[in-house]
Structure 1
Amino acid sequence: MPRTARIKSDSGVYHAMVRGINRQDIFQNNEDRIVFLEKLSAVKERSECSIYAYCLMSNHVHLLIGEGVETISQIMKRLGSSYAYWYNKKYERIGHLFQGRFRSEPINVETYLLAALRYIHQNPVKAGIAQSCESYPWSSYHDYINPERTAKSLTDTELGLKTTGGLRQFAEFHQKPCSNDLLDIDDVTRATDALAEQLIKQVLGGRTTVDLLEMPIPERNMLLRKLKALPGVSHRQIERVTGINRNMIQRA
């Protein structure tokens, strides 16, 4: 089965995530985390990309990246290969370290950027391993709130601080909880019809209205729930693209 084409970001900014194969840990200790950040810094310099946020968890990593002279796929391939080579050599292992290809979500408006920033920094809190963003040491949150650290960090903080309105507003924004598994959409403006159509068609995978109507109800409802979970996409937009009645969408 062919791979689903990756949705391109008009802004060149992506929320990307890589996970350990079979959900295995990709960091055994702090040295591993430090080396990963060093690899990320080297990739940033070579690709001239922007790093707006990062969070290193035990078995996965979240990144908010702006493309430079290389595409997001090239950036993530270079980063993954470099770290996996080092990790396998250190622990005398062979085989893949990361599970499949990385996941990514295009960030096309400023409010998506804010939602992604907060989601990434709150990941340890949602996972129950930290009481607050500030208490977790392995995220870019500290680069934002500590001016002394910001000057020498790999995180590009200017856009995030400017978009939230400053340091105080940035900290206050991060105290509000996220409710979405991928991106917090509570404070996000609706996707444009063009973007919504692109997102919906990717999930549908070529299925037509007739295909949807002929599906077993549980299978169709599962697909509709995936569509409803798309960040910024409204029921009206789902109805327009799929041809499925809005009441049916709401009941799924």
Structure 2
Amino acid sequence: MLTTESASNYNDLEKMSVADILFSINQEDQTVPLAVRKSLPQVEALVEQIVPRMQKGGRLFYIGAGTSGRLGVVDASECPPTFGVPFDLVVGIIAGGDTAIRKAVENAEDDWNQAWIDLMPFEPNANDILVGIAASGRTPYVIGGLNEAKKAGLLTGCVVCNDGSAVAAAAEFPVEVVVGPEFLTGSTRMKSGTAQKLVLNMISTAVMIRLGKVKGNKMVDMQMTNEKLVGRAIRMIIEELGVSPDEAESLLEEHGSVRGAIEAIKKS
């Protein structure tokens, strides 16, 4: 039996008090970062392969079904506002299409050919990277996509939550984070999903840092889409340049980004 499908360490959940339910879930969640830590060498190996390809113009694609697919879409969608990159540099694709983000699409994950079909509009090339996300490690949609991607010369990686899975075998650079039984047996949206989210955070953030999208510890290329982010940008400029709030705001308006404002003053 797959680890992700093994029986919960807790029984008679319906008889637990709310306090006991919450405490137990929290207790299980605390094991996830430790499992992720064990996989850091695998994450590092994948990131080290992604960066040079993206420096050559490659794109990062995530594919997955259900919770895994949604997590890929979330990570991809947060890259443009966080790092100021084009919306099509990191792309999340979910089995069943965008409808499946909100509503499960029956049997979508069981199609071996559909992932590669879904990638076709992007005209994937040998500089691109495909990362399959599958808690079980046996999703046909993901396995099929990885196999076709390898044939086309793409770099392939994955994030799975079972050892020795078919998805890991299909990927050149697998990341295997084994978190053990879920609190609710088989509910991989819980610990497995948390582990996948942590790993995706690491992959995209590390890649963007290596691509020069961060200065110091600041998101200097972020998109300022609301007042909170404008305020953050102004504070960054103040901290970096030692100017007044009014001067920082003027610089931001003139140059359009924290990076632009900082570089313009430092070059002058």
TM-score w.r.t. length of structure 1: 0.30
Identify the structure with the greater helix proportion.
2
Higher relative contact order (CA 8 A, sep 6+): 2
Q: Which has the larger radius of gyration?
A: 2
